[in-house]
Amino acid sequence: MKLRIHGNTLRLRLKQGEVMALAAGSAVEDRCAIPGQTLVYRLQPDSAALGVEFTGGVLTVNVPATTVAVWAETEQVGIAGAAGPVEVLIEKDWRCLDSKDPRDNEDTYPHPAPVC
């Protein structure tokens, strides 16, 4: 899972396996080791509305499980919404068309454009 932060906007991109795990009811997470501490970012299905919390170095984004189920099984690219002052965008991670590193494209979704 990739995390991008810009101001009060969180953007998460998930690979196919992560989308399927989320749709099956499991949380997905990754971490960034920062000297002296670790930032953990987690996306988890929930029965409530979209929500964001940050406690003890863990950034958690809750997304309604019913929304995830529809998103995972359709061509829908993303889920967008606001959690208080934070805008959240959760997207399927598409294949990079110009990447030189094959690891960039492992388990990604096919890109809808044939070329850049």
Q: Whole-model pTM?
A: 0.84
Three-state SS for 79? strand
Read off the DSSP letter of residue 97.
S
Q: Which residues contact 14 (CB under 8 A, 6 or more apart)?
A: 1, 22, 28, 43, 90, 91, 92, 93
Of the candidate CATH numbers 3.40.50, 3.30.1360, 2.30.30, 2.60.120, the domain formed by 2-95 belongs to 3.30.1360
Picking from 53, 75, 51, 80, the residue whose alpha carbon sits closest to that of residue 63 is 51
Number of H helices and E strands in the chain, helices first, is 2, 8
- Please report which residue ranges of 44-108 form alpha helices under DSSP H: 65-73
| Domain ranges across the chain | 2-95
CB 22 within 8 A of CB 113: no
Per-residue pLDDT of the chain in tens (116 residues, 90 and over written 9): 999 999 999 999 999 999 999 999 999 999 999 999 999 999 999 988 999 999 999 999 999 999 999 999 998 999 999 999 999 999 998 666 666 665 666 766 666 766 55
Backbone φ and ψ for 23, nearest 5 degrees, come out as -65, -30
Q: Decide: 61 and 43 in contact? Cβ < 8 Å.
A: yes
